């Protein structure tokens, strides 16, 4: 029942190309050592979508154009006053050359639940990845133990008509 003093906007983008999905191994900061989509904080002078596209360019060197928002997840860590409102995007195509950055090591995975490395991802991801795969929009809120980030203390997650 902690007070949320503020909510910061984040993006997280998954590039899906044919039968493959691009994940990045986070090399530093929040989520270090975990596979995830690409993203980060939205800046004040940009839209959320612009932020998603910018982060993809910064972290993997590529340009994505047609991005579609598929989910909004709020992450609350116990003992931390700031919640992360994370907007999840899907992109289907890209241009440019994929590169490793200081933040991310990119790698293609077969786009099937069996091939996704959930053991080395945030522990909420396996709960909402089925929506990603079904192309079903979703909204959720996850309470995560701030001292043990592998533990989910509570969650709500629902499919929605629109975001």
Residues contributing to the site for ligand 6OG (CB under 6 A): 10-12, 29-31, 36, 39-41, 75, 84, 86, 122, 124-125, 144
Task: Compute the least distance from the CB of residue 93 to ligand 6OG, in Å.
Answer: 21
How far is Cα 131 from Cα 152, in angstroms, rounded to an integer?
19
Residue with Cβ nearer ligand 6OG (20 or 124): 124
Task: Compute the least distance from the CB of residue 19 to ligand 6OG, in Å.
Answer: 22
Task: Compute the least distance from the CB of residue 57 to ligand 6OG, in Å.
Answer: 14
How far is Cα 99 from Cα 108, in angstroms, rounded to an integer?
12
CA nearest neighbour of 24 among 57, 58, 59, 52: 59
Residue with Cβ nearer ligand 6OG (122 or 138): 122
Task: Compute the least distance from the CB of residue 88 to ligand 6OG, in Å.
Answer: 8
Residue with Cβ nearer ligand 6OG (112 or 120): 120
Residue with Cβ nearer ligand 6OG (94 or 144): 144
How far is Cα 111 from Cα 126, in angstroms, rounded to an integer?
13
Structure tokens at 41: 């904080």
Residue listed under structure tokens 């959930």: 118
Strand duo 67-77 + 138-144: pairing: parallel
């Amino acid at each position: 029942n902690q007070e949320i003093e503020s909510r910061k906007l984040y993006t997280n983008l998954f590039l899906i190309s044919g039968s493959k999905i691009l994940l990045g191994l986070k090399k530093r900061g929040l989520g270090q050592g975990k596979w995830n989509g690409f993203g980060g904080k939205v800046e004040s002078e940009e839209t959320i979508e612009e932020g998603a596209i910018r982060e993809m360019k910064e972290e993997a060197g590529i340009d994505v154009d047609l991005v579609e928002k598929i989910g909004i997840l709020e992450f609350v860590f116990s003992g931390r006053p700031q919640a992360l409102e994370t907007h999840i995007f899907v992109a289907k195509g890209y241009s440019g050359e994929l590169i490793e950055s200081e933040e991310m090591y990119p790698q293609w995975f077969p786009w099937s639940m069996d091939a996704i490395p959930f053991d080395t991802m945030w522990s909420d991801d396996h709960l909402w990845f089925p929506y990603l795969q079904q192309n079903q929009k979703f909204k959720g809120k996850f309470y995560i133990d701030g001292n043990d980030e592998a533990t989910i203390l509570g969650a709500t997650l629902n499919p929605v008509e629109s975001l």
